[in-house]
Structure formats: C-alpha cells, structure tokens
C-alpha cells in the first residue's frame, strides 16, 4: 500500500472519531439535562467519630449468601418508581429531610442492556408512542425559576465530572489515531535511568494486567502492568551497585515507563546517585522523540525527595515540582482514608497496613494511580466494625489536587449481605469517591447488585449537606458482556468463562474500567471451533454508551498457534474493539507477533461494512522474555 493511501485512511479514522465523538457527546448531554422542576435533595450529612481499626477476621471466603435480604428502605421509593410514566424517568418531588437517599431500581435497564449485548440481532418491540401537543410558552420568571430548580437535580460537582467526559472522548480518539500501530507487549521497551545510573532488567517481566487503547484517564491507554527485578548499573564501570524489585507500567506505542519499588534488600538504600531507591519510590520517564522528562519521588525519614527534569538533546533542565506521586505508599496511608457513606456507615481497610499493591499506572507527574487488593471493614457511626468484605481498589491523585478511590467488592462471608444500611455489599458492588481538594467535599458513587434491580446512588457531599442526583448515568455493576468478539471474517473470539476481576478504575458515574482474565474459544469463518486461549482483559463503559474491550493473549490452551486462518492467535497478541453504543459504528485493531515481525491491522466498523484504515508488518529487532501471571482460568 502506498503512503498516500495509508495517510488517507488514517485521516479518515481521525475524522470518524472526531465527528463521532462530537455526535455521541451531544445526545447524552441533552438527555442528562434535568427535565423536571423537582426541588433539590439536600439533607444533613452524618457526623462520624473516629473508627476503630481492630480487624475482624473474615469467615470462610465465599461468594454472596444464598439469600440476600431485601433492604427495607427500597420500599420508600416504590411509589415514586411506579409513578414514572416516561422513558426519561422524570423525578417527583420528595421530602428532602428523609433519612434514606433516593435510589434507582435498574432492573429493566439492566435486562434490556444485557439482552442487547447478548442478542444484538433481536429486534426489540417498539414502545407505545405518546402524543404530544406543541405549545409556545413565553419566558417568565416562574419558568426560569423552575428550570433553575430542575438543573439542581444534578449537583454541580456531578455535572462537572460528567462534562469532563467530553475531553476524555477527544483524548481517547487522538490517542487511537496517533497510536494506531501499537506493538506487541513482547517488543523490548526503552531503558531507564536514575541519577545518571542505568536501571537494567534482571528478570523476565511478569505481566499481570493491562489497559486497552480506548482508555480514559486516570487509567492510561495501551499500558502494560507487571513486575520485574532491576540492576543499578554504574555508567563508568558497568558494574552493578545494587538491585530492587518493582511494579512496572509501560506504554505500548509510546515511550513511557514507571516503576514502583516494592523491595530493595535493605543495603545501600538512599536517594543519591548509585544508591538503591527506598521501598515506595516512584520513578518515571516519558519521551517524545528526543525530548521528554524524568520524574522521581522517594520517601525518606524527613519527607519525600521529589525530582523533575526536562530532558533535551542539549542537556537536562531541573525544575521545581511539589506534586508527590509517592505520598503515603511507604507508610501505608495512601489508601486508609475512610469512604464515608451518607447512611451513617463508612468503609475502610480492616487492617491499615494489610493492603497488597498489585499495579501502578498513570502518567507521572501529571497523575498517579495505585492499584491493590485488601479486606475492607464496614464501620458504624461509633467506629465499631459490623462486617467485612474483600475487594480490589485503586487510588489516584493528580497535579491539580483532585484525588479519588474506587472499590470493587470481590468476595464476602455471606452473612448479612444486602444493599441496606450496615449490610455487607454484594459481590460486584462498586464504590467511587472523587474528592475536590479536601476530605469534606466529594462526589460519592455507589452501585450495588440486587435481584430486584441494581441500587445506584450518586451524591455530592459537602460540609453538613448531601445532594442526591436524579441522574445516575451508568450502572457500574452490570455483568460483563459475554458477546462474541468478531475480529475478522475468519476469527471470532467467544468468552467461555466469567471475567475474574483483578482491578477496577475509572470515575463512575462517568465511566468504569474493569481488569481481569478469562478464557476464549476461537472460531473460524465456518463457525468451527479451532482452539482456545487464556487472556488478560480490560473493559470500559461510559455514560455515552461507548464500550471498549481489549484482549491480551497470555496462553494458548489448545489448537495451533499462528497468524494464519484457522490458527490460534499467538501469545502476546492484542485485540482492541470499540463500539459506539448500538449504532453499529466502532473500530477494531489488533497486533500479532510473528517471529521478528508484528502484524498490525485496523479498521472502522459501520452498519454497511468495514473500512480498512491501517495495515502493516513492522520489524521488531529485539523481543523480550515475558511471562504472565494469569494463564489458567
């Protein structure tokens, strides 16, 4: 293919995503605009004493109990649910002094969305049309006042968070175009330096998770996460002066690498040249061509030592910077902030030092993202622990002062499980808190699975007040899709196991990101099963209905591995599939390693057929030896 055709097709992709992003942005924002004159839902925020941190051991770890008690507070909104007559779910006015927050039952939405995912070819029965008369109303103070009251049904903090999704869609579109030819994770990454010393890998990288190409911040697009051992090499003698273990996050298709030091052996530890960085240190480099930056934050007894340097072909330029991406990692306080619910209870680690950090992401020093797993306790207003559950979590912080925490419930002891106040949240529950400068101002998101319909709550909390949003935007607890992924006419991937979650990210109610692993069967053009493989998986669903799924092959279970028809994609293959709601539009991109070559394809999907935009065979002179943490489902 000549250069003009490649440029033209890449340009078509840019235009498609730019126009498509604008189109899908306008419609949801219009639907998100409040359409009722209901008054604000504001009530006093509960006061809370300091919690007790004594951990209660978990009982035998099992999934949810056979029976989940139906919470009594759901009956309080039954009348309001039944009164809704339009698809817009117009809110009715309710007593703002009520103790229980307003909750949405999303059973119908959940079932319809699941049906669309599982049976996209089925035609839904048309809904009955309601006749409307057109009346011209002259503006009046009363009308304006009603509009202002209606606008307050979605708190300003929630509106601001939702509006940032416009920027995220644009960012993801630009990244998708610029990184259209991303390599396989087996391609060798660039080397790192710290204080003039080279950091050289001393073991194969073990990959545990990753993010797909269509990923919003604070996750990072096309980022592989793993762990590895590094030697510190003296540039003059070429000898090793120390070593350390680290979690690693590295970009695919762009020159970014970050390290989080997890172990150093205890010898020659310090922040100077040639010393081994302390546990909890963050080290990152980013380069675009010959220009980039180097960042590090290393804990010491007197405070974290922060360094930021602009790297150019003419030398390095140190700049002052106060953002501390490593704050709280070494002393285990980065994840100890209680999530204060508005029902008098809170969620906090059962053991303040018991978290297991599993991954790092983000783009230092713009923002940092630390992921892990631990046991969480449920605490009442006196600080007494009333229950516990297991979960994966992600904490983030950025250079502007915003910080967040997301929690996904992965297991509980099956006792007192439900959606009511003081109950243990069911498996699949998602909590997300976005703090705006202080612990007293935040947006709180909750989605809790229930047999009668998921309970989804979005609230803005301030000193002494709580505003409940009538719009919840997304249900982060919806089950992951089991819909087949059709990559090409001769390659279809069918999930045959449930997604085993290892990470959660995103900023619900804007979007939610899941990371996990599962098994896929592979089918050819004739519908014949030709084999199967294990894979790391990353998914994202946002408030516009844009859904993305990325698959990284980690192990070929059966069948012949290769890049030809009827063969199983080899280990290290990556597939990125993006769907713009149910419009039929989207994109597909993949890369397969084949010896010293990466085979790359990308195209736009439309209801009328596919439009190819990129096709290449890229020479890979050096591949690295990688292993995968999840190879058996």
In a domain, 74, yes or no: no
Q: Is the CB of residue 609 less than 8 Å from the CB of residue 188?
A: no
Residue 576: per-residue pLDDT: 98
| Same domain? 292 vs 359 | no
Say what the pLDDT of residue 152 is.
62
Instruction: Tell me which residue of 205, 257, 268 sits closest to 232, measured CA to CA.
Output: 268
Q: Which residues contact 8 (CB under 8 A, 6 or more apart)?
A: none
Q: Are residues 389 and 443 in the same domain?
A: yes
Residue 621: its pLDDT value, please?
A: 87
Quickly state the pLDDT bin for 40 (edges 50, 70, 90). Answer: very low
Report the percentage of the chain scoring pLDDT > 90. 70
Pick the closest to residue 362 from 266, 282, 468, 453 (CA basis). Answer: 282
Instruction: Say yes or no: 394 and 284 in one domain.
Output: no
Based on the fold, state whether residues 203 and 304 are members of the same structural domain. yes
Q: How confident is the model at residue 489 (pLDDT cuts 50, 70, 90)?
A: confident
Are the beta carbons of 227 and 218 closer than 8 angstroms?
no
Shared domain for 392 and 344, answered yes or no, is yes
Please provide the average confidence, as pLDDT, over all residues in the chain: 82
For 113-169, the pLDDT digits (tens) are 444 444 444 433 334 344 433 344 444 444 444 444 445 689 999 999 999 999 999
Q: What is the pLDDT of residue 20?
A: 42
Category of 332 on φ-ψ map: left (φ > 0), alpha (ψ -120 to 50) or beta: left
448 pLDDT exceeds 60?
A: yes
pLDDT at position 481 is 86
Q: Are residues 424 and 391 in the same domain?
A: yes
- Residue 459 domain-assigned? yes
Task: Taking residues 620-632, report their average pLDDT.
Answer: 88
Which two tokens mark 416? 């007192």
How do residues 290-311 score in pLDDT, each as one tens digit?
999 999 999 999 999 999 999 9
- State the burial class of residue 4 (Cβ atoms within 10 Å of its Cβ: 0-12, 13-18, 19+): exposed
Rounded to an integer, what distance in angstroms lies between the CA atom of residue 149 and that of residue 142? 11
Mean pLDDT on 445-449: 98
Alpha-carbon gap, residue 316 to 294, rounded angstroms: 9
Same domain for 311 and 374, yes or no, is no
| Domain finish residue from 444, 468, 492 | 468
Lowest mean pLDDT segment, chosen from 11-15, 134-138, 153-157, 269-273: 11-15
Residue with more model confidence, 622 or 404: 404
pLDDT tens string 366-417: 999 999 999 999 999 999 999 999 999 999 999 999 999 999 999 999 999 9
Residue-range definition of the domain harbouring residue 215? 192-319
Report if residue 406 sits inside a domain.
Answer: yes
Angle at 125 between CA 123 and CA 131, to 5 degrees: 135
Element (H, E) at 257: strand 255-263
Say what the pLDDT of residue 191 is: 80
257 lies in some domain: yes
> Does pLDDT of 278 surpass 50?
yes
Task: Flag whether 221 is in a domain.
Answer: yes
556-580 pLDDT, tens per residue? Answer: 999 999 999 999 999 999 999 999 9
Residue 527 lies in a domain: no
Mean pLDDT of 2-13: 36
Pairing of strands 291-298, 626-628: unpaired
Q: How far is CA 179 from CA 108, 213, 252, 331, in A?
A: 38, 8, 8, 37
pLDDT number for residue 505: 98
**165 inside domain:** no
Predicted local distance difference test score (pLDDT) of residue 526: 93
Answer whether residue 633 shows pLDDT above 90. no
Angle between helices 3-32 and 156-178 (to 10 degrees): 170
Task: Read off the pLDDT band of 585 (50, 70, 90).
Answer: very high
Judged against a pLDDT cut of 50, whether residue 28 lies above it is answered with no
The 10s digit of each residue's pLDDT in 178-233 is: 999 999 999 888 788 899 899 999 999 999 999 999 999 988 999 999 999 999 99
Q: Quick one: 310 and 346 in the same domain?
A: no
Are residue 293 and residue 260 in the same domain, yes or no? yes
Which letter does DSSP use for residue 187 in this model? Answer: B
Domain final position from 430, 445, 468: 468
Q: Which two tokens stand for residue 229?
A: 């051992």
pLDDT at 622: 86
Tell me, yes or no, whether 306 and 343 share the same domain. no
Q: Which residue has the higher pLDDT, 285 or 62?
A: 285
Looking at 36-40, 459-463, 515-519, which range is the least confident one? 36-40
Based on the domain organization, do 302 and 359 belong to the same domain?
Answer: no
453 within some domain: yes
**pLDDT interval class at 266 (50, 70, 90):** confident
DSSP 567-590: SBPPTT-EEEEEEETTSS-EEEEE
Domain co-membership, 240 together with 343: no
pLDDT in tens, 46-73: 444 444 444 444 344 334 444 444 444 4
Q: Is 80 exceeded by the pLDDT of residue 516?
A: yes
Number of structural domains in the chain: 2
């Amino acid at each position: 293919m000549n250069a003009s055709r490649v440029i033209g097709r890449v340009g078509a992709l840019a235009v498609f995503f730019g126009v498509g992003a604008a189109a899908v942005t306008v419609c949801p924002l219009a639907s998100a605009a409040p359409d009722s004159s209901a008054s604000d839902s504001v009530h006093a925020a509960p006061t809370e004493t300091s919690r007790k941190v004594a951990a209660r051991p978990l009982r035998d770890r099992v999934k949810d109990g056979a029976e989940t008690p139906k919470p009594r507070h759901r009956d309080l909104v039954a009348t309001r649910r039944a009164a809704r007559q339009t698809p817009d779910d117009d809110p009715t006015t309710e007593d703002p002094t009520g103790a229980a927050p307003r909750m949405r039952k999303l059973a119908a939405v959940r079932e319809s969305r699941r049906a669309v995912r599982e049976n996209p070819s089925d035609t839904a029965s048309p809904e009955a049309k309601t006749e409307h008369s057109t009346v011209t109303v002259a503006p009046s103070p009363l009308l304006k006042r009603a509009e202002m009251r209606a606008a307050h049904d979605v708190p300003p903090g929630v509106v601001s968070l939702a509006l940032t999704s416009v920027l995220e869609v644009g960012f993801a579109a630009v990244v998708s175009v610029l990184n259209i030819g991303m390599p396989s994770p087996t391609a060798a990454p660039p080397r790192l330096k710290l204080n003039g010393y080279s950091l050289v890998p001393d073991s194969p990288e073990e990959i545990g998770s990753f993010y797909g190409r269509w990923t919003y911040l604070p996750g990072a697009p096309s980022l592989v996460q793993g762990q590895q051992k590094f030697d510190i090499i003296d540039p003059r003698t070429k000898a090793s002066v120390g070593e350390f273990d680290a979690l690693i996050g590295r970009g695919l298709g762009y020159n970014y690498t970050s390290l989080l030091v997890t172990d150093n052996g205890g010898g020659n530890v310090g922040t100077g040249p040639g010393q081994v960085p302390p546990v909890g240190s963050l080290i990152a480099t980013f380069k675009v061509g010959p220009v980039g930056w180097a960042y590090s934050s290393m804990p010491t007894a007197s405070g974290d030592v922060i360094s930021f340097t602009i790297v150019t072909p003419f030398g390095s330029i140190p700049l002052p910077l106060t953002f501390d991406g490593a704050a709280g990692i070494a002393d285990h306080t980065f994840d100890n902030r209680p999530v204060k619910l508005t029902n008098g209870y809170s969620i906090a680690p059962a053991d303040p030092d018991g978290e297991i950090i599993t991954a790092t992401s983000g783009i230092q020093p713009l923002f940092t993202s630390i992921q892990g797993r631990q046991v969480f306790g449920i605490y009442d207003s006196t600080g007494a622990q009333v229950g516990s559950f297991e979960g994966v979590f992600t904490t983030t912080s950025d250079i502007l002062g915003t910080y967040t925490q997301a929690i996904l419930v992965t297991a509980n002891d099956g006792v007192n499980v439900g959606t009511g106040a003081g109950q243990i949240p069911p498996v699949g529950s998602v909590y997300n808190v976005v703090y705006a400068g202080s612990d007293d101002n935040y947006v709180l998101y909750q989605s809790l699975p229930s047999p009668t319909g998921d309970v989804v709550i979005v609230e803005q909390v301030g000193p002494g007040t709580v505003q409940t949003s009538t719009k919840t935007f997304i249900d982060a607890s919806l089950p992951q899709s089991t819909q087949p992924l059709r990559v090409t006419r001769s390659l279809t991937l069918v999930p045959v196991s449930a997604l085993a979650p290892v990470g959660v990210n995103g900023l619900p109610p804007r979007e939610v990101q899941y990371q996990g692993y599962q098994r896929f069967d592979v089918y050819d053009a004739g519908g014949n099963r030709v084999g199967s493989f294990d894979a790391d998986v990353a998914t994202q669903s946002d408030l516009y209905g844009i859904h993305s799924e990325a698959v990284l092959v980690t192990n070929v279970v059966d069948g012949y591995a290769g890049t030809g028809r009827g063969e199983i994609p080899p280990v290290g293959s990556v597939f990125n599939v993006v769907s713009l709601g149910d419009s039929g539009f989207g994109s597909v991109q993949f890369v397969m390693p084949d010896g010293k070559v990466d085979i790359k394809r990308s195209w736009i999907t439309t209801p009328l057929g596919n439009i190819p935009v990129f096709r290449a065979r890229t020479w890979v002179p050096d591949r690295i030896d990688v292993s995968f943490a999840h190879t058996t489902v």
